[in-house]
Structure 1
Amino acid sequence: MKRSLLFSASAATALIAVPLLNQPANMSAEASPINGSEKPVTPSPYPERPLFGDTHLHTTNSFDAFGAGNRLSPNEALRFARGEEIISSSGIQAKLSRPLDFLVIADHSDAIGVTTDLYNTAEADLNDPVLKRWRNLMHGDRNQAYLVTREIIAAFQSGKIPQELIRPDRVTAMTRRIWDAQIDSVERYNEPGKFTALHGFEFSLSIKGNSLHRNVILRDGADKARSVLPFPSQGTKGPEPLWDYMEAYERASGGKMLAIPHNPNLSNGIFFALTGQDGGPMTAEQARRRAAFEPVIEVTQIKGDSESHSLLSRNDEFADYGDAGWENGNAPLSQLKKPEMFGGEYAREALKRGLLIEQRTGVNPYAFGMIGSTDSHTGLSTADENNFFGKFSNDEPGAGRMNTVVNPGIAESRIGYHYLAGGLAAVWATANTREAIFDALLRREVYATTGPRMSVRMFAGWSFSSSLFTGDWVKAAYSKGVPMGGNLSAGKGTPSFVVQALKDPIGANLDRIQIVKGWVDAKGLAQEKIYDVVWSAPKKRKIAKGRLTPVGDTVDLATASYSNSIGAPELRTVWRDPDFTKGQKAFYYARVLEIPTPRWTAYDAVRFKAKPSAGAKLKDQERAYTSPIWVG
């Protein structure tokens, strides 16, 4: 099966050099409202299919996105997510092969719109020489304009941002104007039952360059969203002020918010700390607040994968996915990584740390579900390897982007090929509405994929057997057990787990399903184990010396294609934990692996006849991670 390219090499080559930086900011085709009234959507008794979306997309309103050339407003971003064809900021026709089911525009609350405002300010009206320089760079070529992004980020992180740019009255007025316009766009394209647009923003807290970012999502409509402004991270030293803001919003409006941490892999060990913000032991109240406001984390996106790391999970042959290039330091590479930092950066280790903290305080702060999203700063939510539009608009499709140095002048710099194509959030909601999607996130009935739209279910119970797969087994699983994200209370015997995965209908076959278990042993040490529970070609493939034999590899790099002659379109089983210890608290989540497929770098090499650098990875096994189920 050969995956098609969603834009042609000739079109991309012809249009990639078109400079749009000198055109007015927020240029947009006339935004057309969705026709028809909002008819009530009747929820199903239980979730019947996963909804796929992105909770982390930036438009021209994010200061770094604009500085890197993004000229797509929330209107274009929403139209694109709904399946319309649009023109990217670099002049390329862009379209999804399949629309998304939902989208959150999560522009940075800090400095929202300031680069747009600076761009549109006459040079003569600026007093600060740094601002004049930035303004003129943004009116230059794309590479010069991107310098502004890096310099503004560095200025914010060092506290040396020109005060003329962030004068409180100016920022407040600008934030109000941009937030109200974004609310209008989100309302315009929200169509319950067909496509859901949710209100949200990104809280971009960094401590000395170490990422503590969160995406904040509202359950509510325009009336409640207008009652607040996006909460900025400047001046805060931890997430607690954000939780205060969320708590105040809920108390005043009767609405609901949740926060989704992302890129813990760039936090240099502080995201999933064992301590509280003051450096002392985490208290039960601190743990309670974190668990309440942050029920889900973004475990995979363009800037790497945060499920686990080979230094933490030495017996996991698949623990290195998306690590390359992102394991050497924090986001700006202002501080390099030390081995002891890895434990506070990856989801699996955090889940184990949560059990340790729960033993001491009675509350698990890291009882989170897992999703993926893009973190694209192009206004284009693309997660497919053959349709990757880059992290920023200045690295949209083109011959040299995979070999571009991301951090010039730094020896440990990342290279363009280190970017992943993205991720998606998969949500088991009872309807395609704001309320149902938010509630599914809140109860953690969600999972992450690295891009493919595979359908994955997981349940736990005390009486499941292989005979479950007759009749309406999903209904039976809900009635006799708990789905992913749930807590299975104590029962008799050994818990059993039902897992099913269906391949992406237009994607690759499946290699295997694994169950990852974590627990704290009798000595108080956190442990983990990975079980291969069902796999393709079971008559040919066996477990030898603790490892399942590989599925094979059909990737043809000369054509950037692969074949579904190996793997399976569906895998499912009922599995019992052979190492279960009664009374021992543990978590279990499923990891689903596809057969090997080409990465976006391989598609670029064929499309643009570009030679990849020696370190560029050209193929991989994409995957999904379910939210855990806790037992005990």
Structure 2
Amino acid sequence: MKKTTLSVLISAALFSSAPMAEGTADPRSYSPMAGKDYPQQVYWGDTHLHTSYSFDAAMMGNKGLPPEDAYRFARGEEVRAHNGMIAKLNRPLDFLMVSDHAEYLGLVPMINAKNQDLLDDPVGARWAQLLNGGADEQLKALLEMNMDLATNQKRLVNSTVERTAWSDITAAADRYNEPGKFTAFIGYEWTTMPGGNNLHRVVMFADDASKAGQLLPFSAFDSEDPEALWEHLQKYEDMTGGRALAIPHNGNVSNGLMFSLTDRDGEPLTRAYAETRSRWEPVMEVTQIKGDGETHSKLSPDDEFADFETWDKGNLTATELKTEEMLPYEYARSALKLGLEQEAKLGVNPFKYGMIGSSDAHTSLSAVEENNFWGKFTLFEPSAKRAEIQGYTEGKQGKVYGLTIDESVASGYAAVWATENTRDALFDAIKRRETYATTGPRMTVRFFGGWDFAADEVNHADFVDRGYSKGVPMGADLTQAPAGKAPSFMVAASRDPEGANLDRIQIIKGWHDTDGSLQEKVYDIAWSDARQPEANGKLPAVGNTVDVDSATWSNSIGAAELASVWTDPDFDPAERAFYYVRVLQIPTPRWNVYDEHYFETELNTDKPDSIQERAYTSPIWYTPVTES
């Protein structure tokens, strides 16, 4: 190559012709990401957290941590918990939505503050007296409020209190929202529970207080019907020009209603219903404190990892026992399959959900790591005896045990692939379902589907660029298969930098076969160590390094990263299908083991000493194009 002297270069620079004329600039850039707008960063957060402004949180002891403290804690600051300990996250979150109950919003703090309007009301005076009593009296007040929700009877009406509380909440979110650094979403929980069956949704706004504050939260006292909630959200958008969505809770305490194939009136779902539900509810909460909601061992008997942190005793108020017939309408995998069936019937999928996790903690502390778990209520904050706290309700069929602390799950978080850490960008990503759930660890997962991924493409440095340019990301759709081709999926996962190695990556497929039946299958597509599938196709367990006495584990097994390109060997282009990724960590100690070690005591619990934490991605759907 001919050498060019420095003097020649300087001369060329000084005496070159005028800059390019306007409109003739070189469209290329030396920067690889220039002109590309797909997300390069995953953001971590919680969309379901309660503070002292929620009546049940306050009744159960959360009297001193309002929304401001929840945001401070999520941003990484120290907060003093109700047990007197200092609480702090291992790492800050990127976003948080305080989602206090719309029903009796702010009521208890204002009773405690001796709001005269409330004390002049006979019901308010009674609840104030109970609140000033002992634990039994406070529990009685909580049960009365819960019964109001279960029977849709609002006994204490004070719009001034609600308006003041909502103003406080929206203003706090705006104060702590710092675009690019930390996102504080405005939201609330619509807490409908007819007969004690949980149909709750959290409502999320993309907007600031100037818009979100124009309407009071829609409560179950306004209506118990999800369709009425969706109508309210439409009214909000029409009135303010803002944006809103709703996120259903995990359905395992709905007793068969969350993903029912009938509406509130018992009528079969219609195309209009399916379109409306899909419009307002892009993602579902698949894991949280009240149990994991991916699937159930009785729904997925061939899935060795199906029975994970299962809670299937009854509904939210523990007043009706669970039956097996309810299960298909409560769990995410089954709901996704039912969605395919309904799409074939109605032309629209009502259950086309992406996946997120969130905590549902009522402590104002969004802490779900096993070694930093602060429980659902302040009553269950760390103590030597918290795993032994029991309780039951006299149900219709005898004593029905409610969710006790040892059954509570240290879970979960929402992972969102967004272009930046702002309300708009995160909201957009949730709407397009480019999200995944984890039970707490912050493992990174990428998932793409397409028709032309080569086997080695996931190993290229630019595999993400190839994923977006040649396929679609998690949450998106593949349509009519090219002749003779099956879909291929490119998956890459890396461990939480401060966490455990990975055991394996699995793809879960669900499909609606040509006979009209719903099917599912779990495929191991990448795994650690030198294991090989056995003759029956089952992959041997990764092993277990957990030392219970010291509450430790070792990354001497597993892999820091796993990646694979997998092509569906059972693909039928005529069948609707979905595919999502489940990533499993190696076993690590469950939170009760950390409790035993910290408090130097042996807990009275039958829960396991170790668990395999996991991530669930939003699906990629395949839909054949049919002639109308």
Give your verdict on TM over 0.5: yes
Alignment of 1:33-432 (within 5 A): 45-70=37-62, 71-121=64-114, 126=119, 131-141=124-134, 144-159=137-152, 163=155, 166-167=156-157, 170=158, 172-323=159-310, 326-407=311-392, 410-432=399-421
Q: Shift in Å at residue 117 of structure 1?
A: 2.4
Higher relative contact order (CA 8 A, sep 6+): 1
Q: How many residues align?
A: 582
Tell me what 2:586 maps to: 595
Q: How does 1:360-509 map to 2 (within 5 A)?
A: 360-407=345-392, 410-468=399-457, 469-492=459-482, 493-509=485-501
The Cα shift of 1:259 comes to 0.2
Aligned to 1:275, what secondary structure does the other structure show?
coil
CA distance in 2, matches of 1:54, 1:548: 33
Matched residues in 1 for 2:422 and 2:90: separation? 22
- Distance in 2, matches of 1:499 and 1:97, equals 28
Whole-angstrom distance in 1 between the partners of 2:466 and 2:449? 12
Q: 1:402 to 1:44 in 2, by over 3 A?
A: farther
- Gap runs ≥5 in structure 2: 1-33, 624-628
- Residue 473 of structure 1: CA displacement? 1.1
Matched, 1:517 2:526: no
Distance across 1 between alignment mates of 2:447 and 2:535:
26
| 1:555 aligned residue | 546
Secondary structure at the aligned position of 2:220 is classed as: coil
The alpha carbon displacement at 1:255 in A equals 1.1
Q: Once the two structures are superposed, what CA deviation does each residue of 1:242-278 show, in whole Å capped at 9, x if it has no partner?
A: 0001001111111110000003100000110112332
Q: Contact 1:44/1:430 (CA < 8 Å) preserved in 2?
A: no
Match in the other structure for 2:576: 585
SS in structure 2 opposite 1:552? coil
Deviation, 1:128, is: 7.0
What percentage of aligned pairs have identical amino acids? 49
- Residue 586 of structure 1 aligns with an amino acid whose one-letter code is A
- Residue 94 of structure 1 deviates from its aligned partner by 0.6
Distance 1:144 1:602, change over 3 A: farther
Query: How far does the alpha carbon of each residue in 1:579-601 deviate from its partner, in whole angstroms, 9 at most, with x for none?
Result: 00112110000000001111111
Q: Structure 1, unaligned stretches of length 5 or more?
A: 1-41
Inter-partner Cα distance in structure 1 for 2:599 and 2:607: 16
For the aligned residue pairs, the C-alpha RMSD in angstroms reads 1.9
Q: How many angstroms apart in 2 are the aligned matches of 1:541 and 1:329?
A: 40
2:490 is the alignment partner of 1:535? no
Deviation at 1:321, TM superposition (A): 0.9
Match of 2:597 in 1: 606
User: Equivalent residue of 1:613, what SS?
Assistant: coil
In the TM superposition, what is the alpha-carbon distance from 1:132 to its structure 2 partner?
4.5
How far apart are residue 416 of structure 1 and its match? 1.4
Q: In the TM superposition, what is the alpha-carbon distance from 1:44 to its structure 2 partner?
A: 6.9
Distance 1:188 1:123, change over 3 A: closer
Q: Please give the secondary structure, in 1, of the residue aligned with 2:344.
A: helix
TM-score using structure 2 length? 0.90
Larger radius of gyration: 2
* Cα offsets for 1:195-221 (capped at 9, x unmatched): 111111100111100000000000112
Secondary structure at 1:421 match in 2: coil
Match for 1:281: what amino acid?
A: P
Q: Are 2:488 and 2:565, in contact at CA under 8 Å, matched by a contact in 1?
A: yes
Which whole-Å CA distance do the structure 2 matches of 1:125 and 1:596 have between them?
51
Q: How far has the Cα of 1:612 moved from its partner? A: 2.1
Q: Is the 8 A contact 1:69 1:145 kept in 2?
A: no
Q: Describe the SS at the equivalent of 1:259.
A: strand
**CA contact under 8 A between 2:359 and 2:411: conserved in structure 1?**
yes
* Aligned-partner Cα distance in 2 for 1:289–1:549: 44
Give the residue type in structure 2 aligned to 1:447: Y
Cα distance in 2 for partners of 1:525, 1:625 equals 24
